[in-house]
Amino acid sequence: MTLDFTVVIPVYNGAERVSAVLDRLNIQTGLEAIHWEVVVVDNNSSDDLAEVIQNYQSQWREDVPLRYCFEPRQGLAYARERGVVEAKGAWVGFLDDDNWPEANWVAAAVQFGSAHPQAGAFGGEVKGAFTTDVPAGFDRIKTYLVIRRYGSEPMRFQPKQLRLPAGAGLVVQQAAWRDSVPAQLHCIGGGGDDYEISLRMHQRGWEIWYCPEMVISHSIPPQRLEPPYLKALAYRYGLCTCELLMLVTPNWQRPLVLSRSFFGNLKRVIIHGLQHRNQVFNNLAIACYFSFFLGNVVSPFYYLKQATARLLQSGRSPSIRVLSSSQKTSATSESNSAS
């Protein structure tokens, strides 16, 4: 049976965090005519996540299935891929274990999807939920923690400018995913897998949208506000830029784009360093921008390294897709027994 909507929650060692997400999903409103479900993807956790979900299943709302499945391949992208495989909904919404949806989040997503059948993916507003004061200048770099708002009106994103919705709260159409997204995403481990999903869909002609009625809060623990963490995060975002750009760049243009990216961003690093000098080390926003620009400089080489590795891997091991399929089959069996 095809449902209207599936909420997929990838979780890695988040037994203590996932309860806040499930509690908010359990009190969703405006869903009288909507058939939906929740799928928790255990991404190879070593805590008691399976037991926590089993306890929730025993007291969960009767009108909404709550299912558990296990994905042994470590990584958020793998967990999301597995969640889509498991999902029975025509639309699939991703919530991380630190994303807290507003009470109308599911209803708003289903309504927006119904009104925009050509949308392959769309995202909403992401607020920050903090337990401590944010550092000075944080407002300038909050997008690195996917805290974003694009206004009060729906709008189409601009994929070619890498202006896209974040993975937190992202909703995808199953038909668009099957049409566009490969069995394994390229941007694994280095960041950027959120954007790759939307870019793949855009390349196949699907629209990418912003839905202001969909609002979630992103729980930010104090350690994620520390300068070392934020600078490393900014660098990682910069590092994956070329890998994402290549998804929307014709093959014959790629050498030119890579060259222009390297020299252009090298110039930005030099200018930024000269303009701000000592502030690069003691001003959080300036330091994060500098880290992002450095990641951009390295990005062409990172792309070439990743592309070469994929080429060698595909030539050496043509059974990658078969392996992935067998893992999914095995995990599905585990899911059925666990549920």
Q: Would you list the domain boundaries of the chain?
A: 3-225, 228-316
pLDDT at 1: 72
Q: What is the pLDDT of residue 89?
A: 98
Give residue 6's identity as a one-letter amino acid code: T
Tell me the mean pLDDT in the region 38-42: 98
Question: Which one, of 209, 214, 124, lies nearest residue 173 by Cα?
Answer: 209
pLDDT of residue 132: 95
pLDDT digit string, tens, across residues 26-37: 999 999 999 999
pLDDT at 191: 56
CA nearest 163: which of 138, 199, 128, 136? 199
Instruction: Please say if the pLDDT value at position 178 is more than 80.
Output: yes
Task: Name which residue leads in pLDDT, 320 or 21.
Answer: 21
Tokens, residue 219: 């729980």
Q: What pLDDT, on the 0 to 100 scale, is given for residue 202?
A: 96
- Would you place residue 333 in the very low, low, confident or very high pLDDT band (cuts 50, 70, 90)? very low
Higher pLDDT, 191 or 70: 70
The pair of structure tokens assigned to 47 is 């805590």
For residue 271, how many C-alpha atoms fall within 13 Å in the half-sphere facing its CB? 7
Confidence at residue 192, expressed as pLDDT on a 0 to 100 scale: 58
pLDDT band at residue 164 under the 50/70/90 scheme:
very high
Segment 243-302, tens digit of pLDDT = 999 998 999 999 999 999 999 999 999 999 999 988 998 899 999 999 999 999 999 999
Q: Are 146 and 126 in contact (CB under 8 A)?
A: yes
The per-residue pLDDT for range 95-150, each reduced to its tens digit, is 999 999 999 999 999 999 999 999 999 999 999 999 999 999 999 999 999 999 99
CATH classification for the domain delimited by 3-225, as one of 3.40.47.10, 3.90.550.10, 2.40.50.140, 3.30.413.10: 3.90.550.10
